[in-house]
Each structure stands twice: as C-alpha cells, then as structure tokens.
Amino acid sequence: MPEATADEIPVPVRRALRLIEAHPSVVRVTADRVENSAATLAVVEIRTEMANAWRAAGVSPSGVREIEPVSLLFTAGYPLGAPGIHLRSDFDRSHPHIQPSSRGGPPEPCLVAGSPREILRVRGMGGLFEQLVDWLDKAAMAQLIDPQHGWEPVRRDGIDDVIVADAGWLTRMPTRDGGCLAFPAWYYSYGTGPMTHRIGLSETAPVALGQNIVAEWRFVRVGETGYRGNTHALVAWSGKTAAGQPFVADRYLPETVSSIDELLARATELGCREFLEPKLGILQTRVSASKLRMEQPIAVLLLARRPCDVIGTGSPIEICPYVVELRGKDALAKGSGKPVRSAMHREEVSPELLRRAAGDNGKALRPWTLIGCGSIGSKMAVHMARSGRGPAAVVDNGVMQPHNFARHGILPSGNMVESFWAIPKAFYLAEALAPFKHQAVPHDADVVAHAFDNRSITAIMAPDSFAIVNTTGSASVREALVLPGVDADRPHVVEACMLGVGSVGLISVEGPSANPSTTDLICEAYRLIHADSVLRGEVFNTEAEAIAIGQGCSAITMPLSDGRLSTFAAPMAEHVLRLQREGLPGAGCLLIGRLDADGLNQKWARMEIAPRVIVGDGNASVVRLSPDVDETIRREVAARPGSETGGILVGRYSDVTNAFHVVGTMPAPPDSRFSRDEFVLGTEGLKPMLQDLIEGSGGALYALGTWHNHLFPSGPSGRDVKTAAKLSISQYFPLLMLIHTPTGYVHFTVEALSAAGNPVAPGKEGRK
C-alpha cells in the first residue's frame, strides 16, 4: 500500500495506484511525494512469468528477476500526461525495446509503437500497465524480438540529430566483400549551444577523400543560429567470415556509442571496422593538414546485417547512423575520446517511401498520362504523387494565371511571383512534382491540334501508359481523342470532371478498343442525368448553363471553392489509383457522384456501360447505337409483326467524327400510322416533347432523326429518302434515318446545306 498519507497524493494518482495494485501480477506498491515537487513516485513490484527452474534462481537467463521493481513517476501533468516508467538502474540494456539514454539515467522500456500518452487516453491506466507487464514477461523469456515478425531496430527515440537518405539505396549497397564508401552530402545545423544537425545524402556515385576535400566544405549562415553547407558521409558494411559466409550481427546491442573509440568497437561488433577505420584515418590526415573555420559535421552510417529482416523494411540490413563534429586536430583512431553523437535515420522522399506510407504493396505498375493540368488535374496528380504513383507525362497548352491559384493543386512559387502567369501549366506541375522524386515529362501541347495534325498522340504520352486521364472537361479534347487513327493509337481514356456548379462529379472509363468510347460515355452520362430529376436540376440548371456556355468555365467565372473541388478530386484520384493497381474493367464504366447540400455527404453510383452497336463502315457517317436502344427497337418491331413501326432517335451528333451517338428513343406520336407497306411518323405532341428534351438536358441531348423497320432486307425506299429530305430542312446538322431489317441495320443521312433548304443526296448507307 502507498506509504504516504492519502492527503499527500493527488486523487487521480491514488485512483491509478489502486487499479495497479489490483493487477494479479503486482506484489507490492509503495508511493510517496517527491521532495520539493508536485510529483509522486510509485515503486511497483511485478512478478514476471518464467520457467520454474528459473524461479529457483530468482532470475531468468536474460537477466530479468522473478520480482522486478518498476518506478512510475506521476508528475503534476497526470492524468493528461502518462507517468514516466523506469526499470532498475542495473537492468540489462541489451534487451530490445529500451529507449536510448545518453544521460546515464535508468532504463526506460518502450511499451508501444506510438505515444504512451495516447494509450493512456484510449485504454486508460489499466491498458498502459498491462503493456508494461507483458513487456517484462517477454523480456524474461527473451522474446522481445520475434524472428517471425522481424528484427527490432535499435531504439533511437529522443535523439536530435538526423541523417536523411533513401533506405532502399543504402540497404542495396552492401557487397559480399564488405567496404566503406564516401559520398557527398549536405547539412543544416542550428542551435545556440550544442548544434543540432540535419545531414542528407542522395543516391549518387561515391567520391575519393582527396587532398582538397576539406577545401570543398563550404557553408553559409542561415538566420542568427543556423548554418548550411556541404559535407561528406561514410557508409560502411561487413564482408564475409573466415568460413566464407556473410557476416551476420545477431546480437542485440543498445545504442551507447558516444566516442570514436566506442564507434570503432561497435563497428567491430557489426563486422565493418576493417573497412571504416582506414577511411577515418584518411579523413584525420586531411583534417589535420587544414584549418577548419568552424566545426564540420560529417555522417557515419554502419550497415548491420541482421539474422532476419528488419521490421517493416523487407531487408536484413539495419542502418545505424552517427554524427561527428570535426575540428582541426581531432584524433579519429583507436583510443580517441572524440565525441560521437547517435543520430536517427529518416527516409529521403521517394516514390517507394510514399507508396509504403499510402499502404501500397509497392510493386511496379504501368505509368499513366495526364491531360489537363488545371484544378482537377493538378490535384489528382498531387494526390497520386503523394501515393508514389504520379503521372509519367503531363499535357496542357495553357499558362498559369493569377486566378488559377484559386483552386490549383500547386501553391504559387516565391521565386516566380512576377512571372508565374507566363509559365506553361504542364511545366509548372511537373516542377512541383519533382520534389517527390517523381519525374513527369511536361508537354506544352494542344491535344486537339496535335491529334488533328498527326492522327496520333503517342508523342505526348508516357510510353506504355495504362490509361490517359483527361481532366480538361473539354468537349474538343474529348472529340479529338476519338478521331480515326487516334483512338486506335492510344490506351483507354479515363475522364474525370465536375458538372454543374460543383455539386456533381463524373468519372468515365472506356471499354476495350474504345467501345464504348469517351464520347459514347459522356452521352450516356447526359442521358442518366436527364433521367434523374435531382441530378438534372443540379447539372442543367440556369446558373450552370450560363457559366458553361455563356462565360467559360474559368476560376474567375465559376463560383466554386477549393475545398468543394477537392472533395471530388480526392476520390477521383483514388479511383484512378485503383484502376492502375487492379486493372481496367472489361466494359465501359460510368461513375457519377453527388455532394449533398450540407457539403459533407457524398454518394457515388457506378454503372457498367455496354459496347455500342456500330452501324456503318466509317467511310461516311457512322451510328454508335446504345445496346438499350437496340433492344428497344427490336422489342418494338416484335410487338408489331407484319407491320412497319418506328420512333425518334435521341443523342448527340459529332461533326468532328461524323458520328451519331444514339443513347435513347422517343415513342412514335399517337397520330403515327403503322402498316405493312410503310410507317408514317405523326406530329401530335411532338414539338413540346422535343422541347422538353432539349431544355431538360441543357441542349446536351436532342433528336437526331428517326428509325423504322422494313419487313424484308432492303435499303432505303424512295419514300424514305423523300421523307428524310423533308425533315432535314428543319435541322441544322445531318438528319439520321436508321432502318431495322431482318438482317441488320441500314442507315442514311440527308442534310440541307443551303439557305433555300435544298437537301443534298443521302449519305452512303451502312449495314450492321
């Protein structure tokens, strides 16, 4: 029981001690106030789990006693802060999961991977104490390292100095024969007393420690207390044993190195002293022959080969980094007490690191090309680059302007304040992605002109792209991507854009062989939106039409916050990442997302879009028929056996590709006539029906022409041509006549190209 009186110990601490005392592994608890302090020190005697044979000796082979006293220091900050937990001063520090200590204090067990304070808040004092009991039990059984989970790296928490380098590069460096190489490095040091150092080295060729190496070390002052400059790093690793096997450092040692002599001793333990010591000797010679203006930090990294993979790395190589501050007459040989400081290793930014941080398995995937480096495109590129999967090529012929930064994924660069509006967006984005160690080739190219002039866009695509991601929202770019020749020369197109005034998002994924194509998919999207009264009101409302049609969709004219746009850009990027990992679907796909009025709830609906029924050989016009429309026509024909029937075709016409994208039908008006010899389309109620279609879709969908059937295989009749010529006068693009026959479809077009309305001859018919 606590020895201090109840009044002397704060209530939260008394409550914690009562809970601890009730634990079945606790033998005794004593507690008292720390003199001249608001803190309480409790000593908890814990019975550890061990074999009966060890109990007779009172200690396990790993040095853990049957009854272990553990000190818990409750400061005035408890219970918001966790108590300090310390083992007895002579507890063996060679156990893993012990916090490093350079001040000679009692050992501190590392109980959790995160913060003990957070464990206390989430699981309470009982959860934190249970971790302590479990730690002691595993220490007694020498099971704090489980080879099945990997080698526990030496704890380096609380160390101020940091070495930044790509772990993948370092762990690939060791050879069978051992060695020590010098590499150029940079540093940043700061502080008013002992300096704190940040030293970085990147994957590059090793260098010799030549006569002029000290003269190469230059520095500049940063602020009042900082310096930055260039330096060198020594990287050493072990070779083979006398038996010819790789040297394996299988003994866990706590981080206690504090001098050159201890560094060399540690290098002996790790099997690399014979390679490190000569390099230090050369360095000592160079430094002694020079006059250093100030202390020069250098990095020393020992690469230890462990008996199993280091936890979380996939490599048996553990990186043990140190910092040495060199002066003119320093001794760097055996027996030197020259101070050495332990450092922490931190990964250099790299795609591999970013992939691990994103929970990615890291395997190589095919690259992708981004078309459109504006708001949506830049944000998707940044999201995916932060996941280590950024675009390999970025394409945009626009330049950055001040208003672009209202929603752009890249911040204005300080050194470009006066000229950023003259920088092409593609180059600006590629430069911004470079610090992620991500190389995106920029193309300041007009996709439309490039596609039209070359009938190919491979020159502005990343080789072997799994997809082109089009974020321009441009109908012109969309049409250019399906030009004959272009569509056969490129990978699938994935389109991501926002519709209306920022409450609806769209993702479309082409099917195999661009069927359905990106233009087919946008037409299907218009149809689906038109069929949903809520979506229709958001996408095709007056405000959206005024912006999209009357003023242009720029950052100034579209009242849309960066946050609103980002709510769609993030899931769009995640979907492209999923496609890259898992592969493209076997059919076309549409995803339509909507954001609720509260700006928080977002819902996405996914629809599979089947391949188009192609009518026509492509030499003249071509009809790209939705399978749903094909089914509707066949059903209508079957419903009137022995008679011709028909209706109205709905969709969009592309004058770029001379293609009719048919996504819907309208039934024949009630005054239509059906007979064995002919079908005559009526007019009753037709005008308001067509007007509602156009107004309800914002002009995105309209009537393309008519369809009817023939009872026998045949082309258009004379009556068909005359009817088409009459109807074409009221239409400002070719009128489509689609004929269903027992052997397939036939189509022809008629167009009035003069003010007098004289129709030209029908276009060449096509069959399916």
User: Last residue of a domain, which of 609, 635, 651?
Assistant: 609
Using CB atoms within 10 Å of the CB of residue 563, give its burial: 0 to 12 exposed, 13 to 18 middle, 19+ buried: exposed
Does residue 156 lie in a domain region? no
Poorest-pLDDT segment among 2-11, 209-218, 495-504, 629-638: 2-11
User: How many alpha carbons lie under 13 Å from residue 386 in its C-beta half-sphere?
Assistant: 10
Strand partners, 30: 43
H helix intervals, 668-709: 686-696
Token output for 482 = 């399906």
Whether 148 is in a domain gets the answer no
Which of 302, 332, 348 is the last residue before a domain boundary?
Answer: 348
Question: pLDDT class for 764, splitting at 50, 70, 90?
Answer: very low
Question: What is residue 24's predicted lDDT score, i.e. its pLDDT?
Answer: 94
In a domain, 309, yes or no: yes
What confidence tier does 200 reach under pLDDT thresholds 50, 70, 90?
very high
Shared domain check, 344 and 331: yes
**303, 169 in Cβ contact below 8 A?**
no
Taking the CA atoms of 554, 556, 557 and 561 in sequence, report the sign of the dihedral they define: positive
Task: Write the CA distances from 220 to 200, 290, 299, 395, 739, integer angstroms.
Answer: 16, 19, 19, 39, 81
Same domain, 332 and 363: no
Orientation angle between helical segments 375-386 and 562-582, nearest 10 degrees:
50
Average pLDDT of the chain is 87
The domain that contains 102 carries what CATH number? 3.10.110.10
- Name the residue among 542, 582, 179, 162 with its Cα closest to residue 361: 582
pLDDT tens, position by position, 13-42: 999 999 999 999 999 999 999 988 889 999
Mean pLDDT of 305-316: 89
Co-location of 308 and 416 in the same domain: no
Lowest mean pLDDT among 491-495, 708-712, 731-735, 738-742: 731-735
Same domain, 479 and 554: yes
Report which of 234, 253, 263 is spatially closest to residue 338, judged by C-alpha positions: 263
Task: Say if residue 548's pLDDT is above 70.
Answer: no
pLDDT tens column, 51-75? 888 888 889 998 999 999 999 999 9
Q: What are phi and psi of 110, to 5 degrees?
A: -95, 105
- Give me the DSSP letters along 1-59: --SS-GGGS-HHHHHHHHHHHTSTTEEEEEEEEPTTSS-EEEEEEEEPP--HHHHHHTB
- Mean pLDDT along residues 629-634: 96
600 and 631 co-located in one domain = no
**Average pLDDT over every residue of 302-307:** 95
Is residue 166 located within the same domain as residue 255?
Answer: yes
Domain boundary among 590, 609, 628: 609
Task: Decide if 688 is inside a domain.
Answer: yes
Strands 504-509 and 588-595, by their bridges, are antiparallel
The fraction of the chain above a pLDDT of 90, given in percent, is 52
pLDDT of residue 767: 42
> At 636, which CATH number?
3.40.140.10
Same domain, 316 and 407: no
Residue 423: which pLDDT band, with cuts at 50, 70 and 90? confident
CATH at 593: 3.40.50.720
Shared domain check, 368 and 252: no
What's residue 357's pLDDT?
81
Assigned domain for 220 exists: yes
pLDDT band at 551; cut points 50, 70, 90: very low
Higher pLDDT, 298 or 714: 298
pLDDT of residue 2: 47
Tell me, yes or no, whether 145 lies in a domain.
Answer: no
Are the beta carbons of 752 and 727 closer than 8 angstroms?
no
Alpha carbon distances (Å) from 755 to 128, 432, 736, 743: 87, 54, 20, 38
b/e per residue 70-90 (b: at least 16 CB within 10 A): bbbebbeebbeebbbbbbeee
Q: What average pLDDT does the segment 682-689 reach?
A: 85
pLDDT of residue 414: 61
Query: Are residues 82 and 217 part of one domain?
Result: no
- Tell me: cis bond preceding 516? Omega within 30 of 0 counts: yes
Q: Is the pLDDT of residue 424 over 60?
A: yes
279 and 400 share a domain? no
Does 324 have pLDDT greater than 80?
Answer: yes
Q: Are 540 and 496 in contact (CB under 8 A)?
A: no
Q: What does the pLDDT read at residue 556?
A: 46
Query: Looking at the structure, do residues 635 and 601 belong to the same domain, yes or no?
Result: no
Pick the more confident residue, 343 or 156. Answer: 343
Cross-strand pairs, 391: none
C-alpha 477/C-alpha 398 separation (Å) is 13
- Would residue 604 be called left, alpha or beta, if left means φ above 0 and alpha means ψ between -120 and 50 degrees? beta
DSSP letter at 546?
Answer: I
Please tell me the total count of domains within the chain.
Answer: 4
Which residue range is the domain that position 78 belongs to?
A: 6-140
Residue 619 falls inside a structural domain:
yes
Residues 6+ apart with CB under 8 A from 388: 350, 351, 352, 353, 354, 355, 358, 360, 362, 436, 438
Are 475 and 569 members of one domain?
Answer: yes
Q: Tell me the mean pLDDT in the region 714-733.
A: 79
Q: How many CB atoms lie within 10 A of CB 166?
A: 18
Helix residue spans in 143-291 (DSSP H): 167-172, 213-216, 260-269, 273-288
C-alpha–C-alpha distance, residues 739 and 290, integer Å: 93
Please determine, for residue 139, whether its predicted confidence score (pLDDT) is greater than 70: yes
187 domain residue, yes or no:
yes
